[in-house]
Amino acid sequence: MGRVDGKVAFITGAARGQGRSHALRLAQEGADIIAVDIAESIPGMERFYAGATQEDFDETVRQVEALDRRIVARTADVRDFDALKAALDEGVAELGHVDIVSANAGVFAFGDESQLVTDAEWDMVNDINAKGVWHTAKAVIPHLIEQGTGGSIILTSSTAGLKGTPNVVAYTASKHAVVGIMRTLALELAPHRIRVNTVHPTGVATDMILNEATFRLFMPDVEHPTQDAAAEIFATTNALPIPWVEPIDISNAVLYLASDEARYVTGTELKIDAGYTIK
Ligand SMILES: NC(=O)c1ccc[n+]([C@@H]2O[C@H](COP(=O)([O-])OP(=O)(O)OC[C@H]3O[C@@H](n4cnc5c(N)ncnc54)[C@H](O)[C@@H]3O)[C@@H](O)[C@H]2O)c1
């Protein structure tokens, strides 16, 4: 028996990184997957890091199918509610229901002092990271209530959803907003036995942070900072002596919250942060 046997998980940002890892971990434990990703570069993100591609998304599909699970994968932008809802509805029509939700899609923009951040950057980050999470919930809640079988919604925040982060104002605000969404939904949906929680990773080894632009956030004076040099500085931010965690570490937390082992866990901010937030 898998820990989420027979369930269907709706995952945004599933083309690569943590989203792909969540899809695979949940599939290993018996879930079928409805996967959404924009799967292309996002205007405004060019100066930070490269976006996911259709090839990345195809690879997620291939790896889930290799586990003998079904996956319905659709490209959609979480900022576009109608497209997101259509993708989910197609998945539910094909797989029969939806039980687990991972609102994971997000972008990381950073580097400027708050007074220098443009409205365009603020809007892009908050539209994806906060409004996109609300859209994901808004699309799935009617399905969960109508099914009447409960559910688990897991919203991906960050350590930046619990602590201030200098020179990262838009992202930090967006990830705090995710906590507010979680607390509100947890109360609204508790009568339906739908649980809502957040996960708060420290740095995770994905394309979002393993890039020169992010390394430079910690080493502004170095033109081409290396990953080894960045690892040393990242490690000083965590209590445990590690620079970052791996996507599987977050997936195991998502799996726990998705499973019946967490049947009375709701409204919780689950930190997978190597002690970052207690420093
Ligand atoms: N990597 C970290 O250090 C870290 C730390 C804490 C929290 N997080 C959060 O974890 C989540 C996953 O990030 P990751 O590390 O896997 O990064 P990633 O960049 O590898 O993956 C993010 C995925 O989201 C997708 N996406 C982005 N905008 C989208 C949109 N508008 N519509 C649909 N899909 C979209 C991307 O295409 C990509 O596939 C994000 O919410 C991120 O903010 C990351």
Asked whether residue 162 is domain-assigned, the answer is: yes
With a 6 A CB cut-off, is 52 part of the ligand 1 pocket? yes
**Closest atom, ligand 1, to C-alpha of 157:** 7
- Cβ partners under 8 Å of residue 100, min gap 6: 4, 7, 8, 9, 10, 26, 31, 151, 152, 154, 258
Asked whether residue 91 is domain-assigned, the answer is: yes
Helix (H) or strand (E) holding 258: helix 247-258
Residue 135 sits in a domain of what CATH number?
3.40.50.720
Which residue lies with its CA nearest to atom 32 of ligand 1?
Answer: 77
Asked whether residue 150 is domain-assigned, the answer is: yes
Q: What is the best residue among 60, 108, 163, 276 to mutate for testing ligand 1's pocket, by most ligand atoms within 8 Å of CB?
A: 108
> Is residue 112 over pLDDT 90?
yes
In the chain, the number of structural domains is 1
Q: What mean pLDDT is reported for the chain?
A: 97
CA atoms of 77 and 83, how far apart (whole Å): 7
Q: Which residues are catalytic?
A: 171
Asked whether residue 184 is domain-assigned, the answer is: yes
Q: What mean pLDDT do residues 149-153 have?
A: 98
Return the pLDDT at 217.
85
221-249, pLDDT tens digit by residue? 998 999 999 999 999 999 999 999 999 99
Return the pLDDT at 166.
94
> Is residue 19 over pLDDT 90?
yes
Asked whether residue 129 is domain-assigned, the answer is: yes
44-66, pLDDT tens digit by residue? 999 999 999 999 999 999 999 99
Asked whether residue 75 is domain-assigned, the answer is: yes
**Closest atom, ligand 1, to C-alpha of 13:** 24
> Is residue 218 over pLDDT 90?
no
Asked whether residue 53 is domain-assigned, the answer is: yes
Asked whether residue 230 is domain-assigned, the answer is: no
Show the domain range for 180: 8-204+246-274
pTM, two decimals, is 0.98
CA atoms of 80 and 128, how far apart (whole Å): 10
- Find the 107 Cα to ligand 1 centroid distance in Å: 5
**Closest atom, ligand 1, to C-alpha of 40:** 37
